[in-house]
Structure 1
Amino acid sequence: MKFTAQLTRRRALGLAIASVIVAAGLTTPTVSVGATAAATGTRAIPSGGTTSIRSGPTGVNGLQQPELRPNGRAEEGSAEANRARPGSNDSPFPDSPLPPPKVQSSAVARSNPDVAVSVNGLTHRDQRLANGGNQFSLEPPDQALCVGNGYVVEAVNSVLRVRSARTGAALSGVQDINTFYGYPAAVNRATGVIGPNVIDPVCLYDPDHGRFVVAITTLHVRPDGAFTGRNTIDVAVSNGRSPLGNWTIYHVPAQNDGTEGTPNHGCTVDGTNPGPCFQDYPHIGADANGIYISTNEYDLFGPKYSAAQIFAFSKAQLAAHGSSVNVTLVEDLSVAGTPGFTVWPANSPKGEYSKERNGTEYLLSTIAGDGSETGNPTRTANKLGIWAITNTKSLNTATPALGITSRLTNSQTYVFPPKATQKRGPIPLGQCINDTKLLTPFGDGCWRAFFVNEPAHNEVESSPDSLDSRMQQTWYVNGTLWGSSGTAVKVKGELKAGIAWFAVRPKIDDAGQIEGKVKKQGYIALADNNLTMPAIAFTRDGKGAIAFSVMGEKYYPSAGYVRISENGSVGPIHIASKGLGPDDGFSGYNAFTNGAPRTRWGDYGAAVSDGDTIWMASEYIGQTCTLAQYADFASFGSCGGTRTALANWYTRLTKLSQ
């Protein structure tokens, strides 16, 4: 979920920040079988109408009140009730924290001969100025990417765009997601009315039916931005093979409090009194029969994390874009007695689906995180959760009867990663807050552009967030389930953020239980630098790549990748696009966060295969400028049209050939 903040009006400029709410190879024996269960609750969801990707006017440089959304929600819940005690007989967690693995540094390739296309994708400037500027400033750019039929669809919080899969050239303007889904603008700058909060976009191309699918979680709000409690999983499916035509929308109620046909999952506002649930961090996968959106369910207003949920749709029904579609909820996922957390459904190249048990969709998860969701107080683990949704062909019937089975299997160690360092360079937003001498229309000191009351002038270059060790994107090809996660690593004696990758051979036994072992695994690290937000994808012939961000003493935040083969051979690190300056966004500074900065970065990247090519999307920094350029009050904060006043993130889209 995005990092958001509350703003109050400044007379001279109409902008002052008042408060902030911080949103988010070895073969080993298999252990801990989970029981097979059936999914419950199939509902018919009526069409919410049609839409299309249509770019509107672009906003103007400078600051407009409000810049930041006035309400938000902490991404991590406390979830104390879910905590298992380490060392107990039934606990899958270590007795004490495991040490970070010692890892050799990868080499850095001198050239990128397999890069066929590399272009800037969506940027913070694109996001903020879309829809005539009726948008908030958001961090981070959660990354959605899908490719097929000659088109690339990229989405971030809270815009999307279509490009050519041949050249990477833009085929549409920048479309804000609020109006794409038929909602009011994120903020109406004429009236001050605030629209729904759309978060965490995901995207998938269905090669079997030639359809693009984009999904989000939407938090519905009152005109002042306060949450109503209602939230929906919103799904848009292209009516044809081109994303430039019409799309059909379906709004799936997801508050799971017993209203609008949802089950009652017992969420509360205070640990006791009933309240709505909230579906965070949606992710998407598919097999031959279905499209699956996984979420992490929290109390919207209360303290608790519940468990992972799966919203399952028939591929064929979505492709037909009828007056209604069915959705089947696979509820409250657990493994070995612990709540499922970020249970990521796999994607596959066309035809590379499991036919077991009348169709099976595989998923992966880790069991560490920061401990608040999984109940693992050590924030370390050496086991993976492997999952299967079975009988997926039943999604094409009026009465789907899905099964869910899970178990833990032993793996290499993964550990909650440290924050990332970044190469030193100009940070004009931070320098502006520190400045007391520049002459501005409001008096001496650049800080006056943002604040009525003088802040402390103690801002420094920030350390971008490395998230945690949750599973990132997963891929199923040639009978192997691949995944990757963040981890702490010791490389040349230094603690850094690195990547753990895993290859599992899953299957379903005669009793319908999942089996599987980690067949190959490894780490990726770079001395003096950090690697974050991995995303893995494979072509049908077993050629793969892992995309990530690179940052540290030697690199500004950059877009990187490695090639990986189905035999587990990993190549050197390639820098697809070198960063031009440090991350310089509002979420990393004390003055905007009441002294509790958390420099939001990524939350997730993306990688997909399209025939014999792989497309990747990663966050990086594609601009730099000085304080003098930034503080030009004719176009304050724009640095010649390369950024906005409050953030400078970019995304990079890279196409790899064979």
Structure 2
Amino acid sequence: MKTRLLIAVAVMAFTTCAMGATPTTLKLQRGGTTVPTTTAVGGAPLTNLELDPAMTGGDTHDAPLGQGLGLGAQPLVNRSIAHGHAGSNRMGSATRTKSNPQLLGGFNGLDFYDTRFANGGNQFSVEPPDQGLCAGNGFVMESVNDVLSIYDRAGNKLVGPVDLNTFYGYPAAINRSTLEYGPELTDPSCYFDESTQRWFQLILTLDNIGTTSSFAGTNHLDLAVSQTSDPTGGWIIYKLPVQNNGTQGTPNHGCPSGFCLGDYPHMGADANAIYLTTNEFDFFGSAFIGAQIYVVSKHALASGAASANVVLFNTGSPLVSVVGFAVMPARSSGGHFVSLHGGTEYLLSSDAVFSSQGTSNNIWMWSVSNTRAIDTMPQNLRLNFSLVTVQPYAVPTSMAQQKAGSTPLLDCFATSCAPTFLGYPTNVYPGPRALGVNDSRMEQVSFANGMLWGTLDTDVLLADSSHGSGINYFAINPNSGVVSVNDTLSLPDANLTYGAAAVTQRGNGVIAFTVVGPNEYPSAGYAGLDAKVGAGPVHIAAAGVGPWDGFTGIPFFGSGPRWGDYGAAVVDGTRIWIASEFIAQTCTLTEYLTAPIGQCGGTRGSLGNWGTRISAISP
């Protein structure tokens, strides 16, 4: 269904919603420097510390593998507040193509093996990966939980894998010789700014108490900025505390446990500033405070200044009439920024997660104005927000079924393999396990051709009347509020999930996503996007070759199946690079048990097999 909708929004929605308080002004301090350097890949294939105890609430210092992990705790990061869906759904009707005339090429990116065995294996097993991709000046840089690599345009690896703890100057995630723990790094994001010719790499860092496996509660955004246009060279690291309890220069947002958490950080930019947004939760509880918008001087960062001005807008403040969730800042290509009102940055968010039924036909458009004042009078920046009516969307209610195939981790649990090698009790679980899908939070936002382009995942009906996941997309004129294109991209027999769109200044774009269904292994997919016809047919950039077979799909682990948390798409001149999670390997239980155990010839780890695919597309 690709109907072109023209939706005019009431003028009042664009004139009366302004934040009624002076924003909080802060300082971002320069820290150390770093150079991305490939770390050794290797280490013991299986240990009694495969998972970070701090993330699971357990203590594994002397426990056999798999015991004492405190499994079943709510994931600490990438939380949701979504409710179930009880409304109507749109039936999937998009078509597939067997050829890919727009596909310029592609290569496999980082995978579970890289993230587990980088830095000599002093890493944890991590799922899901999360996708940070950026490109420019002849380079492509990918970061996931918890490694990064840098490639040339042909896909040749120039640096990597580099574990993120080493890149940001921290001790290893786990020193397997001394059992000392480094901080937990998660949710990477990356951006290449053409106007300054600088690379920006963002991560959320959760501090430990000393070298133990217990969280201190303090957490900060670490923002690395390249010193030149070459990402393989030197970088400067800046640190921004986000526990927002009145310590380390932060405001006090009153989180019940005494520490707030800057979850799900993302990044955008205009001519004057870099925008960092987070979902603020209570660190040791479940309370949601509201999305945070941090405005940071881009010129100070690009010049390597000792400090940079920061302006913080708290959408959870009582002075704001609407609470933001996953507020996503826009990115623009080619230096095409908005100069109106002293410089303006647009952001989008959705609100179905707040509905008791998990449905909505509204999204929120936010704007930060007078951004030119960030270096001289930061207190004069202003936040405005307005309501935009779009096609109804809903929080997906069902996980994504996948095609049956070899799942050696799942098979291991059904045999003596589990107690012998993994340290878990034998149990038979049906397989392959379904994948987790996204809630309806806003995904990547682009400002291009005078329009704001965004996507979010939504509940849809499949041909067999079961529930699935599709992608709602839209293009909004930020001045008039007119929605020029808005529809749902979905297939009748498969799920599309974790969509991310990028659009060139000519108004031609690409939506990247994962395609998965009962007849399809998790595959990297994409569709064209423009303001005249909306989304085009679904293409497969790289077909999955086997089922997802990860530890969060084992009910014993409690937190539920995790797949992705976000994808990525970026404009690089006349091409668009996309990165999606998919499955690039398959093996049998016999191959899984062949030494080194669980690696299947270096294609996976004992507890997971996710991979990523990076593709170049001419829109």
* Whole-angstrom distance in 1 between the partners of 2:585 and 2:428: 24
Determine the structure 2 residue equivalent to 1:525: 490
Instruction: Identify unmatched segments of 5+ residues in structure 1.
Output: 1-24, 84-95, 270-274, 437-444, 508-514
Contact 2:87 2:357 in 1 (8 A): no
> How many Å apart are 1:40 and its aligned residue?
2.1
State which of 439, 450, 458 in structure 2 corresponds to 1:479.
Answer: 450
Matched, 1:280 2:263: yes
Determine the structure 2 residue equivalent to 1:48: 31
Contact 1:77 1:305 in 2 (8 A): no
Matched, 1:611 2:573: yes
* Cα 1:576/1:130, change in 2 over 3 Å: same
Contact 2:309 2:378 in 1 (8 A): no
Letter in 1 for 2:521: Y
State which of 118, 142, 148 in structure 1 corresponds to 2:106.
Answer: 118
Letter in 2 for 1:412: Q
State which of 557, 560, 566 in structure 1 corresponds to 2:525.
Answer: 560
* Whole-angstrom distance in 1 between the partners of 2:40 and 2:112: 16
Contact 2:20 2:320 in 1 (8 A): no
Letter in 2 for 1:297: E
Instruction: Identify unmatched segments of 5+ residues in structure 2.
Output: 56-74
- Aligned pairs (5 A) from 1:352-391: 352-369=336-353, 374=354, 376-391=355-370
Contact 1:39 1:329 in 2 (8 A): no
Contact 2:449 2:504 in 1 (8 A): no
Contact 2:130 2:565 in 1 (8 A): yes
* Cα 1:606/1:212, change in 2 over 3 Å: same
* Whole-angstrom distance in 1 between the partners of 2:80 and 2:142: 33
> How many Å apart are 1:253 and its aligned residue?
1.0
Q: Pick which of 610-619 and 106-115 moved more.
A: 106-115
* Cα 1:216/1:456, change in 2 over 3 Å: same
> How many Å apart are 1:42 and its aligned residue?
2.3
> How many Å apart are 1:378 and its aligned residue?
1.1
Matched, 1:657 2:601: no
State which of 204, 218, 221 in structure 1 corresponds to 2:191.
Answer: 204
State which of 236, 260, 263 in structure 2 corresponds to 1:248.
Answer: 236
* Whole-angstrom distance in 2 between the partners of 1:195 and 1:615: 33
* Cα 1:568/1:402, change in 2 over 3 Å: farther
Secondary structure of the corresponding residue to residue 116 of structure 1: strand
Contact 1:587 1:599 in 2 (8 A): yes
> How many Å apart are 1:456 and its aligned residue?
2.6
Secondary structure of the corresponding residue to residue 128 of structure 1: helix
Determine the structure 1 residue equivalent to 2:322: 338
> How many Å apart are 1:478 and its aligned residue?
1.6
- Aligned pairs (5 A) from 1:167-246: 167-222=154-209, 223-246=211-234
Secondary structure of the corresponding residue to residue 420 of structure 1: coil
* Cα 1:237/1:516, change in 2 over 3 Å: same
> How many Å apart are 1:321 and its aligned residue?
0.9
* Whole-angstrom distance in 2 between the partners of 1:104 and 1:422: 17
* Whole-angstrom distance in 2 between the partners of 1:649 and 1:203: 20
Letter in 2 for 1:456: N
* Whole-angstrom distance in 2 between the partners of 1:128 and 1:491: 36
Contact 2:129 2:145 in 1 (8 A): yes
* Cα 1:79/1:602, change in 2 over 3 Å: closer
- Aligned pairs (5 A) from 1:214-613: 214-222=201-209, 223-269=211-257, 275-332=258-315, 337-369=321-353, 374=354, 376-397=355-376, 399-417=378-396, 418-436=398-416, 445-451=417-423, 454-492=425-463, 493-507=465-479, 516-591=481-556, 593=557, 596=558, 598-613=560-575
> How many Å apart are 1:146 and its aligned residue?
0.7
Aligned length: 589
* Cα 1:446/1:616, change in 2 over 3 Å: same
> How many Å apart are 1:447 and its aligned residue?
3.8
> How many Å apart are 1:446 and its aligned residue?
4.5
Question: How well do the aligned residues superpose, as a CA RMSD in angstroms?
Answer: 1.9
> How many Å apart are 1:105 and its aligned residue?
1.9
TM-score, reference length from structure 2: 0.92
Letter in 1 for 2:124: F
* Whole-angstrom distance in 2 between the partners of 1:26 and 1:55: 49
* Cα 1:377/1:650, change in 2 over 3 Å: same
* Whole-angstrom distance in 1 between the partners of 2:81 and 2:118: 37
Matched, 1:643 2:604: yes
> How many Å apart are 1:61 and its aligned residue?
5.3
Letter in 2 for 1:194: Y
Contact 1:618 1:652 in 2 (8 A): yes
* Whole-angstrom distance in 1 between the partners of 2:325 and 2:113: 33
State which of 625, 644, 650 in structure 1 corresponds to 2:587.
Answer: 625
> How many Å apart are 1:614 and its aligned residue?
0.1
* Whole-angstrom distance in 1 between the partners of 2:527 and 2:518: 20
Contact 2:89 2:459 in 1 (8 A): yes
Contact 2:327 2:349 in 1 (8 A): yes
Contact 2:445 2:502 in 1 (8 A): yes
* Whole-angstrom distance in 2 between the partners of 1:623 and 1:434: 21
* Whole-angstrom distance in 2 between the partners of 1:601 and 1:347: 25
Determine the structure 2 residue equivalent to 1:7: none
1:73-132 residue CA offsets vs partner (Å, 9 max, x unmatched): 44476979xx9xxxxxxxxxxxx9662432342111111122112100000100111111
* Whole-angstrom distance in 1 between the partners of 2:492 and 2:340: 43
Contact 1:431 1:459 in 2 (8 A): no
Contact 2:206 2:220 in 1 (8 A): yes
Contact 1:61 1:637 in 2 (8 A): no
Q: Pick which of 287-296 and 576-585 moved more.
A: 287-296
Determine the structure 1 residue equivalent to 2:130: 142
Determine the structure 2 residue equivalent to 1:27: 6
Kindly, what percent of the aligned residue pairs are identical? 42
Secondary structure of the corresponding residue to residue 432 of structure 1: helix
Letter in 2 for 1:554: N
* Whole-angstrom distance in 2 between the partners of 1:217 and 1:475: 23
